[in-house]
Amino acid sequence: MRKWTIPSILFLLCLLFLLPDQGRKIHASAEGDSDLPVEPPKMEERIGAVPNGLTTDSDVANREAESMSRRTLRSNAEKFEFQAEVSRLMDIIINSLYSNKDIFLRELISNASDALDKIRFISLTDKEILGEGDNAKLEIQIKLDKEKKVISIRDSGIGMTKEDLIKNLGTIAKSGTSAFVEKMQTSGDLNLIGQFGVGFYSVYLVADYVEVISKHNDDKQHVWESKADGAFAISEDTWNEPLDRGTEIRLHLKDEAQEYLDEYKLKELVKKYSEFINFPIYLWASKEVDEEVPAYEEESSDEEDTSDSNSDEEGEEEDAEKEEDEKKPKTKTVKKTTYEWELLNDVKAIWLRNPKEVTEEEYTKFYRSLAKDFSDEKPLAWSHFTAEGDVEFKALLFIPPKAPHDLYESYYNSNKSNLKLYVRRVFISDEFDELLPKYLNFLMGLVDSDTLPLNVSREMLQQHSSLKTIKKKLIRKALDMIRKLADEDPDESNDNVNKDVEESSDSKEKKGQYAKFWNEFGKSIKLGIIEDATNRNRLAKLLRFETTKSDGKLTSLDQYISRMKSGQKDIFYITGASKEQLEKSPFLEGLTKKNYEVILFTDPVDEYLMQYLMDYEDKKFQNVSKEGLKIGKDSKDKELKESFKELTKWWKGALASENIDDVKISNRLADTPCVVVTSKYSWSANMERIMQSQTLSDASKQAYMRGKRVLEINPRHPIIKQLRELVVKDPEDESVKQTAKLIYQTALMESGFILHDPKDFASRIYSSVKTSLNISPDATVEEEVDVEEAETESDTTEAESSSNNEDAPKDYDDDVHDEL
């Protein structure tokens, strides 16, 4: 046994020396064999273990921290200059004294939502574009870094390529940039920025350095950065955490904007502005939790012995309790701060809810989010309904409190729509002008259909048969909503009996609402009458206008008809440039005297409107500036026509060169000697003025549509009576002819027509003035003295005197020289 002991000990010692060396060899061979798969570097613990939480190694984390700390453009980045319009916009924002800087967050969240909408729409036909796992989740994340004073807003949307970053954030200004700059210079309301498509630049209200990190599936990850100093830079991103897809915006806050590093403040802003965004918005929020930790008791040096044992049983019980306490580990509860992603917008899509369960405040909030209109004004009205039948859909329509700045600027050329189309809760497009006719394109809202197919192209969807049914129902609901707005307005009521009755708070709120609607969108209703023959009568009920009896208030056609005189068959109206001008028009004299009410149309579109609105409730429309006006019969009409027959015939001949079709006795005049009216189907004087002001108007067509004119004379006027007597005495008197032409030209101008030869009219006026001042018609203008000749003589005299002055010193010098 002893013989084997010594060799065994030696063998064990050898093994102990060889094993460490072998371990080093194995480790060395693992490092040297680079082609073999190796374990990935150890990752840091996932932040909060949440979907899409940042997973990064320490090197990336360090580089990212360094990136977030910097406030200067990277030296290796490609530099660009902002376009002039963008620079102007940024100057306005940076130097703005506007107090509400909160809008930056809502604009960034709105842009993130748009990016998520785009990627989700593309994924309908290309499911692989979203990727798998966490990458497929569409959400918005907000994170604060209080130490570095940075706010990050990240989305998993479509992302931007390098070209997109240049185009969208710098060199090519959006179409709304110029319009917004002009609006700011007039109104100063920065709150409108989102409506012009330039909301991104609101970041400079709170930040002096901005980074935009973006990854598109078709490009590498790039960083856009700018200090708002007129330039920006773009470079390939090699230092931040790789984004699978989407955009992250980092705002390096100004010193005066530190309040936005408060979690509660951000929660409040999201709740206020972005509650109804259709994608989840998460905030990396802190949370205090109670945690049990081990408690170590400190031994007390002043322990008192209380060995007062009355009995042996009590001593044994105490010993047993101490033994049990010693076995249990002693702990204490402490407060611990943890971080996790907190969902901020958990509100169900409002259009999916029962309308009875949605409050007015919720509708107002949703409208503001949808329209990007965060003013204090509420929408004028809304309609929330569900359509059932062959085509099922839910819809929510709003009437904005104000018309968009460019509503009628490109009315027929724009395909813009304010209605968003969803299919089974998936946003499809907001460019479907087939959902509503152009005259209703001021309405805001959305349509969510369960009938339309999801995964088809936008072009195919536009041809889908269901769209026509949806459009028909939307128009009907929209017109009902507008009619209801009018019906609920106390100012629109025909009842004047209960004027003194106290109004309820609801009626006070609705008072004047339809007048406000009409002032903003009345032109759209008129365009609807022109374009939509099917709904023309329903739209005509929504028309409002002023009349000669409305005292400045708006009147409907129904109200006008209710006030018509007995025996009145036609609805009288007149068109012109302004209400003041029309009220003084000679065409209204007879009608006003006989207590007829006349509608006053002052909008240029009214001329086109009345070409399509021929009648209403079996009442024909009659333009009082055209022939054919019937306002009762006069028993002396035949006698008057006969007594003035010679004058009318003579006057028609005297005006043969003036394109006058006839001269007639008028039944519409009271204090004016005569007026010029047009035939029933030709242009009125107002329409001629409108057409002549058109840039590309055709003079040849205007001559055709101008038609014949009729001179109507007032047989009771002293001028006309005197003219008749003069014509009876000497129809060939040249002065009488000149007077007749002057009266006609004056009537032409007073009737609203443009004089063809103003010089001829002026000459006749001056001749008339000469006569009234007893100046001879042959008197000539005194000739002016020829100024040029007088100036020449004056110059010659001055030249001679100056030459004499020059000769005097010369003679004096000669005399001095001789004397010397």
Residues 6+ apart with CB under 8 A from 255: none
**198 known member of a binding site:** yes
Between CA 84 and CA 570 the distance in angstroms is 58
Dihedral (CA of 116, 118, 120, 126) sign: negative
**247 known member of a binding site:** yes
Between CA 756 and CA 760 the distance in angstroms is 9
| Type of residue found at 480 | D
**95 known member of a binding site:** no
Report phi then psi at 409, rounded to 5: -70, -45
**714 known member of a binding site:** no
Q: Which two tokens stand for residue 412?
A: 């027929």
Q: Which two tokens stand for residue 475?
A: 């128009």
Between CA 790 and CA 503 the distance in angstroms is 84
**155 known member of a binding site:** yes
**416 known member of a binding site:** no
Strand-strand pairing, 615-616 and 231-236: unpaired
Q: Within 10 Å of residue 588's Cβ, how many Cβ atoms?
A: 21
Between CA 69 and CA 149 the distance in angstroms is 9
**528 known member of a binding site:** no
Which residue, among 687, 683, 734, 679, has the nearest Cα to 712 in the 3D structure? 679
Between CA 144 and CA 206 the distance in angstroms is 14
Residues 6+ apart with CB under 8 A from 770: 776, 777, 779
Number of H helices, E strands in the chain: 26, 22
Between CA 413 and CA 406 the distance in angstroms is 12
**691 known member of a binding site:** no
For the chain, the residue count is 820
Alpha-carbon distances, residue 634 vs 380, 629, 642 (angstroms):
50, 13, 14
Between CA 280 and CA 293 the distance in angstroms is 35
Between CA 370 and CA 377 the distance in angstroms is 14
Stated as kind and residue range, the H or E segment containing 619 is: strand 619-623
* HEC-encoded secondary structure of 424-487: CCEEEECCCCCCCCHHHCCCEEEEEECCCCCCCCHHHHHCCCHHHHHHHHHHHHHHHHHHHHHH
Burial of 564 from C-beta contacts in 10 A (0-12 / 13-18 / 19+): middle
∠ at Cα 191 (189, 194), nearest 5°? Answer: 125
**200 known member of a binding site:** yes
**795 known member of a binding site:** no
Q: Which two tokens stand for residue 664?
A: 């007639």
Indicate the DSSP class of residue 388.
-
**196 known member of a binding site:** yes
**567 known member of a binding site:** no
Which residue, among 337, 285, 347, 343, has the nearest Cα to 146 in the 3D structure? 285
Q: What is the DSSP string of 639-691?
A: HHHHHTHHHHHHHHHHTGGGTEEEEEE-SS-SS-SEEEEE-TTS--HHHHHHH
Between CA 493 and CA 548 the distance in angstroms is 19
Between CA 352 and CA 760 the distance in angstroms is 72
What sections of 497-551 are H helices per DSSP?
Answer: 505-510, 513-531, 536-540
| Type of residue found at 73 | L
Edge-first strand order for the sheet with 419-423 is: 381-387, 393-399, 444-449, 419-423, 426-429
Calculated CA dihedral for residues 461, 465, 466, 472, nearest 10 degrees: 120
Could you tell me which residues are annotated as the binding site for ATP?
107, 111, 155, 160, 168, 174-176, 195-200, 247, 458
Binding-site residues, in ranges, read 107, 111, 155, 160, 168, 174-176, 195-200, 247, 458
